[in-house]
Chains A and B, each alone.
Chain A
Amino acid sequence: MARGSSDVSVRVRNLSKRFQVRRAWGEVLRAPMAARWVTSVDNVSFEVRRGEFFGLLGPNGAGKTTLLKMLATFITPDDGSAEVEGTDIVAESRQVRSLVVPVIASERSLYWRLTARANLELFARLWNVPANEIAARVDGVLGVVDLRDTAQKLVGQFSSGMMQRLLIARALLAEPRVLLLDEPTRSLDPVSARAFRRFLRDELSERRQCAVIIATHSAEEAFDLCDRVAVLDRGKVLALGAAADLAQDLAGNRYLVWTTVPTHPLFASFTAEPDDVAESAPVALRDLAGWYPVTLELPGGPAAASAFLATLVAAEVPVAAFERMPVSLAALIEKVVQRSRERP
């Protein structure tokens, strides 16, 4: 799904950040000057092109949010550099803030006693939107997040999901060159979340060529929205590429076979522990009496799988489906992290 454009919007080079660990009182009294540090972002490099969707995946504490906050200029990096549209995030932080807009997740970061429209008008002025464009731009973003009908309502009367949408609308006001999103659809209902993703894709990415960096735990966002993803753990980038390609690479040699004779001797030496994915395999077969899933580990790649299927057919073992098992987002992250930790 990678785009043809080679124009780089965000360039991150060897970016690192470590934080001092908060110590217990006893420890501080014993050794007042000592300090312990934890590395949150460790020598991270990547580039994001204009109009590209770039996902940051990883377990909690992997460094995703720190990375986003460094790009938003809220945190100063210790080492390395990052540029947005050629502007250095440390040396020219104010200019960067006119290019990069983070979606702040806190609902309290809105004026609850003001209407949605008044909130957006305030931030439009803070983002230097020309006065004669403010009304149209506010209307536009309210429409995008489907809040136009409640624009005159006090924000304090909004539901959590509506506030989340308003926060997103606020970020879109600035027409950023780079949008930073930290689990943006966490509080949205599925319909709003889908509409929001569609907006991100159609309007921001394709029409305005805005780069979007998104930290997410959502499989839909990682696989369907992101052109590329980086899997992080303990601050390091462990894998970088299209989510689907990574999933394909990590899918391994696990296959799911639907058969009427799951105890057939041919399966015996290849049977593996079934996992949750088996349950999500063809619904039609699950509902059909007499057919059972068998999870197999078939070393040797597609050729070996093909040969094994031929053996089953030759042995007249009934087979309704034979497929390589897809890897879920959780499994993808887990596998990448596991693979990295197993390396010497």
Chain B
Amino acid sequence: MSVSALAALWRASFLTATSYRLRFVQSLVGSLITVVPVFFVARAMQPMMGPTIQSEGRDFFAFLVVGFAVMSFVVMCVDALPSQVAGDINNGFFEALLGAPVGTATILVGLVTYPILFTMLRGIAMLALAAVLGVHFSLTHLPEALVIVSLLAVAHFGVALLATGLMIAFRTTLSIPQVVITASGFLGGVYWPTSVIPSWVYTVSEFVPLTYGLRALRQAVLEERGFGQVAHDVLMLAAFAGCLMSVGVLAISLAIAYARRRGTLSQY
């Protein structure tokens, strides 16, 4: 993967985003403003939710703010690439990129590096504000947290590659990103712990990578638990990441070959 090309694509996206000044400021400030109502709602619900999140930080506000930050990151990992490629196919930019002598992986990663990093930055800002409002985040297990976030990124980028492959080959994602986002939001433990959902739905939630990632992350940063104590969730997440990334890479390779055969790669 060409680092120079990645940096160039990141820079171009950054300059484009910051050229819309009001939108850029609003997207930064907006996520911070969200934290304030969440703080009051969480405080109000603490007596009811507290007992259900004993292994995930006990504090419902901390539970929610970690869930929101990770969820926005996952949404970006899943949806940014297919949306970007769909737009770029339509305007011919994708063809221009594919004409360059850099690998497809560089192009695909380069297209979403900026939005994903920006979302991470917003997530960190949300967590920082939460810390100001009294949440204690442990940095002792930062390496564990970074590994978990990386695995979440890999797993969901695999889904994004699959959806992008469908977009390149058939001009539709079959709503895969939306299905994954909805399932992650409702069943992945973003707003409530998976332990409180009905048993049959709980079974479904075991097929949602975010379930493992979020639980492990909360335990690492809110409960100060190390790899030994979150090993099961991390391994499950790693298995999902491996499988989904393999499927995604296969899908994108087949899709590009298919589009080249059909002559639709540069059709816009």
Contacts and interface: CB of A to CB of B under 8 A. Distances in A.
B100 A97 contact: yes
A126 interface: yes
B99 A104 contact: yes
Contacts of A170: 96
Interface string B69-97: 00000000000000000000011110111
Given A94-B103, A170-B96, 5 more contacts: A72-B99, A97-B99, A104-B96, A114-B16, A154-B19
Contacts of B100: 97, 123, 126-127
A113 B19 contact: yes
Contacts of A113: 15-16, 19-20
Contacts of A154: 19
B96 A69 contact: no
B44 interface: no
Contacts, number: 97
Contacts of B198: none
Q: Which of B5, B90, B100 has the most CB of A within 10 A?
A: B100
A74 B260 contact: yes
A37 to B, nearest CB: 12
A114 B9 CA distance: 12
A66 interface: yes
B4 A109 contact: no
B265 interface: yes
Contact of A106 (B2, B9, B95): B95
A235 to B, nearest CB: 13
B99 A102 contact: yes
Interface of B: 2, 4-5, 7-9, 11-12, 15-16, 19-20, 90-93, 95-103, 257, 260-263, 265-266, 268
A108 B93 contact: yes
Contact of B99 (A75, A101, A105): A101
A76 interface: yes
Interface of A: 17, 19-20, 40, 66, 69, 72-76, 94-95, 97-98, 101-102, 104-106, 108-111, 113-114, 118-119, 121-123, 125-128, 131, 154, 170
A207 B5 CA distance: 29
B263 A19 contact: yes
17 contacts: A66-B263, A69-B263, A75-B266, A76-B261, A95-B101, A104-B96, A104-B99, A106-B93, A106-B96, A108-B90, A114-B12, A114-B15, A118-B12, A118-B15, A122-B9, A125-B8, A128-B2
A106 to B, nearest CB: 3
Contacts of A118: 12, 15
B97 A74 contact: no
A40 to B, nearest CB: 8
Nearest to A171: B99
A126 B5 contact: yes
A66 B261 CA distance: 12
A44 to B, nearest CB: 15
A108 B265 CA distance: 16
Nearest to B103: A94
B260 A127 contact: no
A110 B92 CA distance: 9
